[in-house]
Structure 1
Amino acid sequence: MTDTDLRQLTPAQATINDYWDSRARAYDRGQRRPGRAEEDHVLWRELLRPHVSGPRALDVGCGSGFLSRVLDDLGAAVTGIDLSEQMLEIAREHSPGIEFHRGDAVDPAVSSGFDLVASRYVLWTLTDPARALRRWHELLRPHGQLLLIDAPWFPRGIDANPTPGFREHYRADIRERLPLAEGFSIAKVARLVTSAGFRDLEVIPLTKVYELDRATGAAPGHEPTLQYLFVSRRS
């Protein structure tokens, strides 16, 4: 998606993007909390290490670049894309050596042939996760790897989230366009992944991340929640 195309965002997409632009600095601080930033990076690096191979990785919905930095540390040549220009500005500040572009996670305007497509905390934000997964499948080389990280973030509903501006942006008419925002389940994500053409799906509960969140506190606006790593590949 080019910058010209970005002007054609649907009202729902534009509202969601406005929220993440406005919260970019606060979100990044939550990803790099004092006292556990290095521990987070080391933990995620070790969790993902067995699943990262091949030189080219695409981080879809990269936000302020946390996952991109982990993949870079594991030796991948990373391209990160996100709709939020404010998120990308922060990502570039942290990692000037990583390639970041503004673009749509549902239909990334990048060339195919990636060894790895990864996303962290992205699926629930998408208006069309099924289409996104089909497109990510196309972007992988044969036998390339898919890594998805997400969770049922809102067990008591989005309205219970106290983050400033969250409920105002993720109001009812927006939520009804996001199939996984309040309807996330392992079974539903698994069906989406396999329906997009991926094979050999493995679902891994990230218990060490959950234990760290319970010990030190989850990100602002969230309770400690068991996250899942979905690992699959293009046939």
Structure 2
Amino acid sequence: MNDEKIKQEIANAWNQESNFYDSHVSHGMKSDEEKKLWMEAFSTRVKNDTQLQVLDVGCGTGAMGLIFAEMGHTVEGIDLSEGMMDVGRKKAADMHLAMNFSSGDAEHPPFDDGKFDVVVNRHLLWTLPNPDKAISSWFRVLKPNGTLLVIDGVWDDGSRLNTVKKKISHKIASLVEAHPHGGKSRYSEEVSSYLPNKGGTSEEKAKEYFENAGFTNITVVNLDAITDEQRKYFSWYMKIAPKSTYYLISGKKPEST
């Protein structure tokens, strides 16, 4: 299966999910407190006293990019899914925030070298066929001393107990929700076989990607405060599923490369 066909199936899957994606907790922002926690997490890793050029790569409906826009930065978002971006464009208009959404492949962002101060993405590494190449591309489009911020986690650790808990939670969701999330894979088995991180990305693997791409000053922090805030909005059957590992990893592009 060639790269173009893989990416087309991925785009189609997210187009189908776009109209209800933000309804799921951990996707759309459910509280002002959650937004505040994200802003605090980002402010400790990037300067917030000057306007930055930010790329939200694999932006979807713009959850992370719109936070940066609200913080006063200039934000460009790219994604394969026009459906997801259409939702993001409406959100930006409703919130009176300037964020530009355009079609683009996260593994090959269509920008010149050294354009951005910050590259950010959330829940993206698992759905990339070539995450190592993607991170090298993000390194390329960053300015010297620019920052890469990746929010990720491990959704399926493969343990028997956690697998059973997830199946129970997803089964109940499939019975009571019009658009349950996470129960059935949104990709075909063939496409899934090309995704090296389809169960999530460990901190150790993410660090390896960063180091291989040339990033320095790599730090990882857990996002327990954010997941605890999100869980306040979980239905009772969602709480059956185990709490996933969730983290923010950041790295700097050296001044000279």
TM-score, normalising length: structure 1 = 0.86
Question: Which of 2, 14, 31 lines up with 2:8 in the alignment?
Answer: 14
1:5 corresponds to which residue? none
C-alpha deviation, 1:75, in angstroms:
1.9
Read off the aligned partner of 2:28 and give its amino acid letter.
Answer: R
Read off the aligned partner of 1:20 and give its amino acid letter.
Answer: W
Segment drifting more, 177-186 vs 66-75: 177-186
C-alpha deviation, 1:210, in angstroms:
2.2
Segment drifting more, 179-188 vs 67-76: 179-188
2:190 corresponds to which residue? 173
Segment drifting more, 198-207 vs 11-20: 11-20
Q: Quick one: distance in 1 between partners of 2:193 and 2:213?
A: 22
Cα RMSD of the aligned pairs, angstroms, is: 2.4
- Dislocated runs of 4+, deviation >6 Å: none
1:184 corresponds to which residue? 201
CA offset digits 1:63-93 (Å, max 9, x no partner): 1011011111222110011110001101111
C-alpha deviation, 1:100, in angstroms:
0.9
Q: Quick one: distance in 2 between partners of 1:136 and 1:165?
A: 28
1:67 corresponds to which residue? 64
Paired residues of 2:53 and 2:75 also in contact (CA < 8 A): yes
Q: What is the SS of the residue equivalent to 1:20?
A: helix
1:225 corresponds to which residue? 244
C-alpha deviation, 1:14, in angstroms:
1.6
Gaps of 5+ in 2: 172-179
Paired residues of 1:134 and 1:196 also in contact (CA < 8 A): yes
Q: Quick one: distance in 1 between partners of 2:200 and 2:63?
A: 25
1:111 corresponds to which residue? 112
Within a 5 Å distance, the mapping from 1:51-130 to structure 2 comes to 51-53=45-47, 55-96=52-93, 97-112=98-113, 113-130=115-132
User: How has the CA–CA distance of structure 1 residues 88 and 183 changed in structure 2, closer, same or farther, with 3 Å as cutoff?
Assistant: closer
Gaps of 5+ in 1: 1-7
Question: Does structure 1 residue 27 correspond to structure 2 residue 27?
Answer: no
Question: Which of 224, 248, 251 lines up with 1:207 in the alignment?
Answer: 224
C-alpha deviation, 1:22, in angstroms:
0.3
Q: What is the SS of the residue equivalent to 1:210?
A: helix
- State, as a whole percentage, how many aligned pairs show the same letter: 29
Q: Quick one: distance in 2 between partners of 1:100 and 1:22?
A: 18
Q: Quick one: distance in 1 between partners of 2:33 and 2:233?
A: 11
1:3 corresponds to which residue? none
Q: Quick one: distance in 2 between partners of 1:21 and 1:9?
A: 18
Number of aligned residues = 224
C-alpha deviation, 1:40, in angstroms:
2.0
Read off the aligned partner of 2:80 and give its amino acid letter.
Answer: L
Q: Quick one: distance in 1 between partners of 2:210 and 2:90?
A: 33
C-alpha deviation, 1:226, in angstroms:
3.1
TM-score, normalising length: structure 2 = 0.79
